[in-house]
Every structure is written in structure tokens, then in C-alpha cells.
């Protein structure tokens, strides 16, 4: 049976590399994006050029109605979902906690916590044997910030990733007997656009000398861990939080 995977935020960074690698391992891949249609289409085109199957699906995950529509589109375009990578996530500008506005916190928790919860809900409805499904696997893209705390930069982001880890632990137990595995990867500093979007375009360059490896990780290195957790090679892994952090 064809394996169908949805990668949220699959157009750039870690999500894009995950989509490419998963497609090379036989998954049909839905590449979700919110703004950058060209980037999403370029990932789809690369997969199609390798004789894989993929489709770009626009949905702003801040909007619960668009999440429902996204999963319906995956059903329609690719068939029965058997994998979800809850990858899309945001950071915000560097601020201390005593500077945060309510709207900043609402946006952070909406995107990094509420959206992955709702995506997990839609996935479980399709995968769970309790609902007539054939099982599946969910990988949440967390961050080592959940245990480091993000002080002076983004404690809200760190807290959102700690919530995502709690989703991994709790949901993995809820659905363990329903043929669904749920795991997290926790990247350290990875060289992607996310740092520029938080107003720190030189973050990788500036922090690399202080890292144990003396360098940031690549999106491909994180994708390798995600795709391993997606695979049958990780058949007894559930509720696992796998650091991909270069000893950080």
C-alpha cells in the first residue's frame, strides 16, 4: 500500500529536506506551505523529477478551518494518510518575558502548539484502528529550547516546544494500542531561514563557535532523524524525544 505523508511547512528548511528524503524512501508527500508557493512547488518538482509523488498544498495553520481543509485535500489528492510531520513552526523577535504582548503569546502558542495539536487530531482520526484506520506515525519537530529555556531570546518559543513534547509523550500513550507511533525530534541550532525571520540573520554564524561541534546542523541532518522515526526501523520507538543537537 502506498504510504502517504503530510509535512507541514514542507516548503523550506527542515520540512523541505524531510519531504525530499521521505519521497526518496517511497512516501507520497503532501508539501504544505502558507506563503511561499514557489518554494513549495520547487520541492514538489524535485520529487516529481525523481519519479516520486508529491503535491503542494497551501494552508495557513493559524486557521483551524484551513487545517481541516488541508487534511481533506490530502485525502483527495494522495489517499489515506499514514504519516504526519508536524514541522511548521515560528520564532519571534528577541524579547525578554517582561516585554511580551498578549498578541505575541497568542500567535506563538497558536502556531507552535494549537496547530500541531489540531493536525495530530486530524491524523489520528484517519490513522487510528479505533476509527477504522490502518495505523500510522507522527513526528513532531520540537527543539532543544524546550530544555534550555530560550532565556533573553524567546522563552515563549521554548515553552511552546515543551508543550509539543508533552503532546508527544501523552498522545503516544493514548494511541499506542491503535497502531500509531508518536515521536519528537529536538534539533539544536540548524542553518535555516527561521533565524532571519526572528530578526537574527547571523545567528548561525554568531553562535557556531560556541557550539560543541563548532558548527550548526543542516536541515538534511534533521531530516535523516525524522525519516528514521517515520520508518519501520523505528517500530518500537514511541514517546521518544530524539535530540539532533550536536551534543548541545
> SS3 sequence, 132-172?
CCCCEEEEEECCCHHHHCCCCCCHHHHHHHHHHHHHHHHHH
Strand order of the β-sheet with 136-141 is: 54-58, 27-33, 3-7, 83-86, 136-141, 180-187, 241-244
| Closest approach of ligand NAP to the CB of residue 87, in Å | 5
Dist CA 50 CA 172 (whole Å) = 34
| Closest approach of ligand NAP to the CB of residue 226, in Å | 10
**Residue 74 in contact with residue 8, Cβ under 8 Å?**
no
The DSSP call for residue 75 is: H
What is the bridge-based pairing of β-strands 54-58 and 241-244? Answer: unpaired
Q: Is 136 or 187 the residue whose CB approaches ligand NAP more closely?
A: 187
* Near ligand NAP in 8-27, by CB under 6 A: 8-9, 11-15
* Near ligand NAP in 148-187, by CB under 6 A: 187
Q: For residues 10, 224, 191 and 17, what is the CA-based torsion angle, rounded to 10 degrees? A: -30
Q: Is 200 in the site for ligand NAP (CB under 6 A)?
A: no
Q: Is 113 or 137 the residue whose CB approaches ligand NAP more closely?
A: 113
Q: Is 88 in the site for ligand NAP (CB under 6 A)?
A: yes
The answer for 179, left when phi > 0, alpha when psi is -120 to 50, beta otherwise, is left
| Closest approach of ligand NAP to the CB of residue 236, in Å | 25
| Closest approach of ligand NAP to the CB of residue 179, in Å | 26
Q: Is 36 or 80 the residue whose CB approaches ligand NAP more closely?
A: 36
Instruction: From 5-13, 97-105, 125-133, 147-155, give the range in contact with ligand NAP by CB under 6 A.
Output: 5-13
- 46-75 mask for ligand NAP (x: CB under 6 A)? --------------xxx-------------
Active site residue 157: yes
Q: Is 143 in the site for ligand NAP (CB under 6 A)?
A: yes
Q: Is 31 or 127 the residue whose CB approaches ligand NAP more closely?
A: 31
How many chain residues are in contact with ligand NAP, going by CB under 6 A?
A: 31
**Residue 205 in contact with residue 196, Cβ under 8 Å?**
no
Which stretches within the chain are classed as H helix?
Answer: 13-24, 37-49, 64-77, 102-109, 115-127, 145-148, 155-174, 194-197, 203-207, 219-230
| Closest approach of ligand NAP to the CB of residue 126, in Å | 19
Active site residues: 157
Where does this chain bind ligand NAP (CB under 6 A)? 8-9, 11-15, 32-36, 39, 60-62, 87-90, 111, 141, 143, 187, 189-190, 192-194, 197, 219
Amino acid at each position: 500500500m502506498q504510504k502517504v505523508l503530510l509535512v507541514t511547512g514542507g516548503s523550506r528548511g527542515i520540512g523541505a529536506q524531510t519531504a525530499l528524503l521521505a519521497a526518496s524512501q517511497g512516501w507520497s508527500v503532501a508539501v504544505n506551505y502558507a506563503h511561499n508557493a514557489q518554494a513549495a512547488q520547487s520541492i514538489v518538482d524535485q520529487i516529481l523529477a525523481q519519479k516520486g509523488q508529491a503535491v503542494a498544498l497551501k494552508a495557513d495553520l493559524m486557521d483551524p478551518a484551513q487545517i481541516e481543509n488541508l487534511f481533506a485535500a490530502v485525502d483527495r489528492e494522495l489517499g489515506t494518510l499514514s504519516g504526519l510531520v508536524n514541522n511548521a513552526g515560528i520564532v519571534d523577535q528577541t524579547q525578554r518575558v517582561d516585554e511580551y504582548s498578549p498578541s505575541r503569546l497568542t500567535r506563538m502558542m497558536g502556531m507552535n502548539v494549537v496547530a500541531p495539536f489540531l493536525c495530530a487530531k486530524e491524523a489520528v482520526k484517519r490513522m487510528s484502528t479505533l476509527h477504522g484506520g490502518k495505523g500510522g506515525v507522527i513526528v513532531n519537530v520540537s527543539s532543544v529550547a524546550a530544555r534550555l529555556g530560550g532565556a533573553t531570546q524567546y522563552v515563549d518559543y521554548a515553552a511552546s516546544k515543551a508543550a509539543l513534547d508533552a503532546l508527544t509523550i501523552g498522545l503516544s500513550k493514548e494511541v499506542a494500542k491503535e497502531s500509531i507511533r508518536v515521536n519528537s525530534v529536538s534539533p539544536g541550532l540548524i542553518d535555516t531561514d527561521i533565524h532571519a525571520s526572528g530578526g537574527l540573520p547571523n545567528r548561525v554564524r554568531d553562535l557556531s563557535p560556541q557550539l560543541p561541534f563548532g558548527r550548526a546542523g543542516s536541515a538534511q541532518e534533521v531530516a535523516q532523524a525524522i525519516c528514521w522515526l517515520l520508518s519501520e526501523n523505528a517500530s518500537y520507538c514511541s514517546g521518544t524525544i530524539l535530540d539532533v543537537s550536536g551534543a548541545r
